[in-house]
Amino acid sequence: MNGRIALSSAAARDATADAPGSLRPGGATAARSEPQTGPASPAAAGARPQSNNGPTPAASNGPGVKLVAGREISLPTAVLAIDAHPDGKRLYAACFDGGVYEVAIETGALRRLGKHDSYASGIAYAPRSGRLISAGYDGTLRWIDPAAGTQVRCVEAHKFWSWKMRVSPDERLVASVTGQYMAGGYKYEPAAEQEPSVRVLDAGTGKLLWSFSHVPPVQSVAFSPDSRYIAAANLMGEIRIWDVQSGKQQAGWTTPDFTCWGIIKSHHYVGGIFDLAFTPDGRELLGCGMGPMVDPMAGNGKQTWQRFAWSESPARKGGEIAEGDAGRGLMEAITFHPDGRSFVMAGKLAQGKWSAALFDATTGRMLHAVDTKMRTTGAVWLPGGAHLALCGATSQERKKNGRCPDFGHIKLYDLAVTG
Amino acid sequence: MHRRLFLQGAIGAGAASLMSWNGLFSAPAFAAEVKKQQKHCILLWLCGAPSQFETWDPKPDSIYSGPFRSIPTKIPGVRFGELMPRCATIADRLSIVRSMKTKQGEHLQAINLLQRGAEPREPFVRPTLGSVLAQQLGHLDSPIPNFVLLDPCPEGNEFKEFKAGNWAGWLGAQYGPVRAGGEYKLEDVTRLADETTQDQEQREALRRFLTRKYENDHASSAASSQNAVFSRVKGLMSCADLFDLDKVKPADRERYGPGTFGLHTLLARNLVEGGAPFVMVANGMPWDCHVFQHEIYQMLVPEVDRIIYHLITDLEQRGLLDSTLVVMMGEFGRTPWLNAARGRDHYPDAWSLAMAGSGIKRGAVVGATDADGVDVVGQAFNEKNLFATIFTALGIEPYAEYTERDIATFYRVEEHAPPIREILA
């Protein structure tokens, strides 16, 4: 199977409004920009994107940064999650068709490495072991040898979907979260879990290490940079953090700003926290999603992130997206730049100008934003941090000549210095 | 008394002259006969329009298929969406129509179309299915309303607009719904503690006299309708318990689930058991999932699966399934293709509905769609075919001409559209 590369990026325009025709750094156009693979930050190639550098102002007093649209790769099926190979030349994609694909950035060539029985929803490459771990709506985690293109292990982690899966930075653990939203009360409060919502497995052997309880559906999970803690959050905005050494819950709190109860069309809950990321120092936790809506199925809640000092008791909200920065739409991916000084949040645009934006990690100030023209579901910085890969999907269309037009996309952005 | 039995002269005039209406119903043999012949209808109104793919017509091999798989049913070769395991076990008691094809893709117009059975012809307002059935199946003197709408959601976008409109059309307000459920509690239907029966009757007699006088003096059909409605509400005082969720057996509540839709379906079962001819159960407009479809359907579809299963099973166990038609439908279907928000949009071109009970064949699956569910393969059915089927199944003449004053020529089912014969028993 081949992905299709589009070298033009008219569809992925700059949303923070430079004048048309403005020069891009180095005079390169988006159409010609090439992914840079050399390490350009402390997070060198060969390590998972993370940094223990203390966050410093990214652009407050110095030159600005911007995301410059680069290569686009179209896939015949939606991409729900991506990760990058340390060589910076390959991406791994988890897709609607259940496929786990290796994507050659240069050519767009796709190689299927594995297959789930339903949507593949999570993907992580572990450089030290050279293994790829995927998760799916079939409830399984699968270990794949990407070089051989063979599955080496399959573990049923859940009876229901794996909403999100993450591998710890030290590559020793893999965490997956699940849970079906079922009516649990007159107002359709979520019913109690039918199985543990959070599973932590040994990334090397697949052995189940921990099962943690939460209120389903649990839609997001993240490891702390030191691999000691995991955070998981759900539909109701409830966040829990466990110590994966002791198995004890370390913190738990609820933010009401990601969930709404339907008033207009229906009486039930919608929303939740769709992705989590610890700050590079591990002291704070960021969550992203969408603010409450009047019509719960309009998809037009506020694009939002919040950060919490989770080790304080009670957890303290330390900041959130500035009101003027937020448009409307569901935000599904949040991830720090390898240098730790900024983070990107991406999702779908309902109203406003952008669907992916770069924020200063210290101040929370928006640095730059773009409209990816797709529902963006995953984000990964290529090693070195010079390039950002976003994945997602556009609408499916009627078949033409017996074939559904491509609706999956991977879009690369160069992180460019301006001014 | 059953209006149609009365009109058909099934009861001799002599007998009627000897007994009061209440007396008629207190005669056990007659009451049993009437109860036996009484037809009922429960409409599970899945407003917002459910996806056929996640319910009755899954396409697991299509690129447009979502994350939900399909499962086998009691009928060999027939599969439902995996979120309907309970319905799969009673598929042999349901009839599925997979080839509905209608022409309205916007909610308000489509709700009107599927509730009234024909396109509008202004300025005339065609009565809704519930109003027609209330007129045809209703009792003249039943304390239970002939048309009950259970809907806890006071809002509902286009459905709200529809709800605020004229349900009974040219039949008159007396055939409109009595609404209850959730926010719409039947308040003030209990007689005050310090009011004696005699006081109440005297007040009622005075109200009746004054209203009749006003009707006569002003030739007011509105006053007449309002008087009928008042009488109906007065009747509610005697059956208020049937609307009281607190009086529902906990075991039943457990089975139907905790959500409002399940509880109100349970009330519908009890109302039908109590003699109500038509009960419509709605829950706002929850099926309109342009976004979050997977996230919401994982909850909504299992809920409706559970509700349908228990409703059909309960009606059967109570001996009511053969006399009660259950219709499960929305106003159209959903697109095969997922939009960028991973939702499905409006799609009237090829969709599904289900029926069971009175006059309906068991285990029939009628019609088909192509491999991706884009279009109907073979004969398609529209709202007129559906209404002809419902009326036929309930023993109501489908093509009768309306004889109300001051309206043009209308028929219960226009264009002599045939019923879906393949699902008629």
The mean predicted confidence, pLDDT, of chain B is 86
Q: How far is the C-alpha of B143 from the C-alpha of B242, rounded, in Å?
A: 11
Residue with tokens 């829990």: A240
Q: Report pLDDT for B264.
A: 93
Query: For residue B259, which residues of chain A lie inside 8 Å, CB to CB?
Result: 183, 185-186, 188, 268
Q: How far does the CA of residue A320 sit from the closest CA of chain B (Å)?
A: 24
DSSP code at position B191: P
Q: Which of A415, A342, A418, A385 shows the shortest CA–CA distance to A37? A: A385
Q: How far is the C-alpha of B81 from the C-alpha of B366, rounded, in Å?
A: 17
Per-residue confidence at B26, pLDDT binned at 50, 70, 90? very low
Per-residue confidence at A262, pLDDT binned at 50, 70, 90? confident
Query: For residue B262, which residues of chain A lie inside 8 Å, CB to CB?
Result: 183
pLDDT above 90 for B348:
yes
Q: Report pLDDT for A52.
A: 32
How much of chain B exceeds pLDDT 70, in percent?
80
Q: How far does the CA of residue A396 sit from the closest CA of chain B (Å)?
A: 5
Q: How far is the C-alpha of B224 from the C-alpha of B229, rounded, in Å?
A: 9
B242 in Cβ contact with B273 (< 8 Å):
no
What pLDDT digit, counting tens, does each position of A386-407 carry?
999 999 999 999 999 999 999 9
Mark yes or no for CB contact B258/A330 under 8 Å. no
Mean pLDDT of all residues in B74-100? 98
What pLDDT digit, counting tens, does each position of B155-174 carry?
778 999 999 999 999 999 88
B167 in Cβ contact with B270 (< 8 Å):
no
Nearest-by-Cβ selection for A264 from B155, B258, B295: B155
Burial A100-126 (b: 16+ CB within 10 A, else e): bbbbbbeebbbeebbbbebbbbbbbbb
| Residue A127 falls in which region: left (phi positive, over 0), alpha (psi -120 to 50) or beta | alpha
Residue A316 has phi, psi (to 5 degrees) of -110, 130
Name the CATH superfamily for A47-68+117-383. Answer: YVTN repeat-like/Quinoprotein amine dehydrogenase (2.130.10.10)
Q: Which of B41, B40, B5 shows the shortest CA–CA distance to B25? A: B5
Query: For residue A191, which residues of chain B lie inside 8 Å, CB to CB?
Result: 258
Nearest-by-Cβ selection for B64 from A330, A393, A396: A396
| Residue B14 falls in which region: left (phi positive, over 0), alpha (psi -120 to 50) or beta | alpha
Q: Report pLDDT for B139.
A: 74
Mean pLDDT of all residues in B101-107? 97
pLDDT greater at residue B107 or residue A20: B107
Q: Report pLDDT for B225.
A: 65
Angle, CA A78 vertex, CA A338 and CA A49 arms, to 5°: 10
Mean pLDDT of all residues in A192-214? 98
* Cα→Cα distances A44→A50, A83, A228, A326, A385, Å: 9, 16, 22, 32, 9
Q: Report pLDDT for B193.
A: 66
What token pair was written down for B124? Answer: 């005339």
The mean predicted confidence, pLDDT, of chain A is 87
Q: How far does the CA of residue A97 sit from the closest CA of chain B (Å)?
A: 8
Query: For residue B157, which residues of chain A lie inside 8 Å, CB to CB?
Result: 264-265, 295
* Number of alpha helices (DSSP H) and beta strands (DSSP E) in chain A: 0, 31
Matching CATH number, B39-188+249-423, of 3.40.50.300, 3.40.605.10, 3.90.850.10, 3.40.720.10: 3.40.720.10
Q: How far is the C-alpha of A240 from the C-alpha of A213, rounded, in Å?
A: 9
The SS3 call for residue B109 is helix
Per-residue confidence at B353, pLDDT binned at 50, 70, 90? very high
Interface-testing mutation among B292, B294, B335, with chain A (most A C-beta atoms within 10 A): B292
A387 in Cβ contact with A413 (< 8 Å):
yes
Q: How far is the C-alpha of B67 from the C-alpha of B298, rounded, in Å?
A: 10
Q: Which of B109, B62, B9, B84 shows the shortest CA–CA distance to B312? A: B84
Q: How far is the C-alpha of B105 from the C-alpha of B103, rounded, in Å?
A: 6
* Cα→Cα distances A398→A402, B69, B222, B336, B337, Å: 9, 21, 51, 9, 7
A160 in Cβ contact with A139 (< 8 Å):
yes
What token pair was written down for B103? Answer: 């022409």
pLDDT above 60 for B21:
no
Q: Which of A10, A68, A12, A13 shows the shortest CA–CA distance to A386? A: A68
Mean pLDDT check: name the lowest of A143-157, A261-275, B371-385: A261-275
Query: For residue A188, which residues of chain B lie inside 8 Å, CB to CB?
Result: 259-260, 299
Per-domain residue ranges of chain A: 47-68+117-383
Mean pLDDT of all residues in A261-285? 93
Q: Report pLDDT for A95.
A: 98
A226 in Cβ contact with A282 (< 8 Å):
yes
pLDDT above 80 for A13:
no
Residues β-bridged to residue B325: B41, B357
Residue A217 preceded by cis peptide, ω within 30: yes
Q: How far is the C-alpha of A289 from the C-alpha of A271, rounded, in Å?
A: 7
What token pair was written down for A166? Answer: 């993450």
What pLDDT digit, counting tens, does each position of B188-245 carry?
555 566 667 677 677 767 766 777 677 677 666 666 666 666 666 666 666 777 778 7
Q: Report pLDDT for A22.
A: 28
Nearest CA in chain A to B256: A183
A296 in Cβ contact with A320 (< 8 Å):
no
Helix, strand, coil percentages, rounded to 5, for chain A: 0, 45, 50
Q: Report pLDDT for A60.
A: 44
* A82 residue type, one letter: I
What token pair was written down for B408? Answer: 């043009």
What pLDDT digit, counting tens, does each position of A105-151 carry?
999 999 999 999 999 999 999 999 999 999 999 999 999 999 999 99
A interface residues, B as partner, C-beta within 8 Å: 77-78, 97, 117-119, 137, 161, 180-188, 191, 217, 235, 262-268, 270, 295-299, 330, 348, 374-375, 393-399, 404
Per-residue confidence at A30, pLDDT binned at 50, 70, 90? very low
What token pair was written down for B357? Answer: 């009970």
Q: How far does the CA of residue B326 sit from the closest CA of chain A (Å)?
A: 23
Handedness of CA A368, A372, A376, A380 (dihedral sign): negative
pLDDT above 60 for A54:
no
Q: How far does the CA of residue A217 sit from the closest CA of chain B (Å)?
A: 9
pLDDT greater at residue A267 or residue A309: A309
Query: Torsion angle of alpha carbons A142, A146, A152, A156, nearest 10°?
Result: 0
Q: How far is the C-alpha of A218 from the C-alpha of A176, rounded, in Å?
A: 9
Q: Which of A96, A128, A129, A98 shows the shortest CA–CA distance to A113? A: A98
Mean pLDDT of all residues in B65-87? 97
Q: How far is the C-alpha of A327 from the C-alpha of B114, rounded, in Å?
A: 38
Nearest-by-Cβ selection for A266 from B63, B283, B339: B283
Mark yes or no for CB contact A404/B64 under 8 Å. yes
Segment holding B201, helix H or strand E? helix B197-218
Q: How far is the C-alpha of B30 from the C-alpha of B134, rounded, in Å?
A: 21
Who contacts B217 (Cβ-Cβ below 8 Å, separation ≥6)?
none
Interface-testing mutation among B82, B299, B307, B338, with chain A (most A C-beta atoms within 10 A): B299
Q: How far is the C-alpha of B81 from the C-alpha of A202, rounded, in Å?
A: 34
